Amino acid sequence: MKKSEIIRSKPSIQLMQERYEYWSRVPYPGLVIDNKPAITQVDIDKVGDYLIYLVRDPLGAYGKDPAERMAERLENAECIGNSGMFLSYTGYYKGAKVTCVSGGSGCPEVELAINDFMEYTNCSTFLRVGTSGGVAEKVKVGDCVITSGVFREDGTSRAYIGDGFPAYCHYEVVTALVQAAEQLGMSYHVGVTACMDSDFVGNGRPSVGGYLQPDNINKLGTYNRAGVLNTDRESSIIMTMCNPFERRGGAVFNVTDNLISGEKFREGAGTETSIDLALEGIAVLHQMDMKKAQAGKENWFPGLEQMN
């Protein structure tokens, strides 16, 4: 049974559908083109257990579409969807079936893709991988940040649930990424990421002509004092959607500049490192998932492998 069907069977969800006067006119589960989800146009039978969302980001200096770049690292990779808006590949990495998806930036665009994958497949894990700006002194350009939770300053996630709802990263995903970072011997940090729609004034960075308002100039200092490590524009909606739709979410970022420390922007700084970390983290998570299945457990915990 698809996880989306389990969600649909909840009495509280059914109540909302009954109260919604236009429900009978909604093309549920969604728009379709050639028997495929219209937005991503993916072959849903070929979607992996683990999904990586990548942004077509010039700051990352991918050199080509980032989904193609990631697919080069996978075994038996094949294109499973190309809608012009989103490009999707599936392949294998150390036994884990991985789908990588590239698209535009910002939570509103990410929501479009993630909705298709959550509605039509049982993909268990959604990982945001890409660039970010550092806002903590200890975060150096080229370092990786493993997100433990997201400060939701975007508008899209508010459409799902109020501001008080925590956008946390699943502990299994965080644990797997930390183990992978240690195994790779890389420089990394674990902590909170702030996510917002505006990459300029909303992120404490000047817009046209140096334009700023009083609230804007407080942003970076507020994040820094609160111990936020970095900022991005996509992680909030992924973490927010994962909880009600019973998925695991996480994020790995490479840092390309840091206004707090004054360390200058370097194109593509840490891009390869974040890709390495994401894939190795998924490999570790895949091993954790197999151990859970063998033990008949729902949750992974230290020492699980020692159980009979």
- One-letter amino acid for residue 140 of the chain: K
Tell me, yes or no, whether 17 lies in a domain: no
Band of residue 87 on the pLDDT scale cut at 50, 70, 90? very high
Residue 306, pLDDT above cutoff 90:
no
Residues in the chain: 308
Mean pLDDT of the chain: 97
Which pLDDT score is estimated for 29?
Answer: 93
222-251 pLDDT, tens digit per residue, is 999 999 999 999 999 999 999 999 999 999
Residue 308, pLDDT above cutoff 70:
no
Domain that holds residue 62: 30-300
Tokens describing residue 301: 């915990």
Tell me, yes or no, whether 19 lies in a domain: no
Pairing of strands 50-55, 125-134: parallel
Is residue 87 helix, strand or coil? strand
Calculate the alpha carbon distances from 118 to 5, 146, 227 in Å: 11, 23, 32
Cα separation, 227 vs 53, in Å, equals 26
Residue 1, pLDDT above cutoff 90:
no
Tell me, yes or no, whether 1 lies in a domain: no
Residue 26, pLDDT above cutoff 70:
yes
Tokens describing residue 58: 């010039």
Tokens describing residue 173: 């995903």
Tell me, yes or no, whether 21 lies in a domain: no
Tell me, yes or no, whether 6 lies in a domain: no
Domain harbouring 74, CATH code: 3.40.50.1580
Pairing of strands 144-153, 248-258: antiparallel
Tell me, yes or no, whether 307 lies in a domain: no
User: Is residue 30 within 8 Å of 149, Cβ to Cβ?
Assistant: no
Helices (H), the chain: 3-8, 11-19, 66-71, 107-120, 171-184, 214-217, 219-225, 235-242, 271-295
101-150 pLDDT, tens digit per residue, is 999 999 999 999 999 999 999 999 999 999 999 999 999 999 999 999 99
Tell me, yes or no, whether 220 lies in a domain: yes
Tell me, yes or no, whether 7 lies in a domain: no
Alpha-carbon Rg of the chain, whole angstroms?
19
Instruction: Work out how many domains the chain is built from and give that number.
Output: 1
Tokens describing residue 134: 């550092």
User: Is residue 124 within 8 Å of 49, Cβ to Cβ?
Assistant: yes
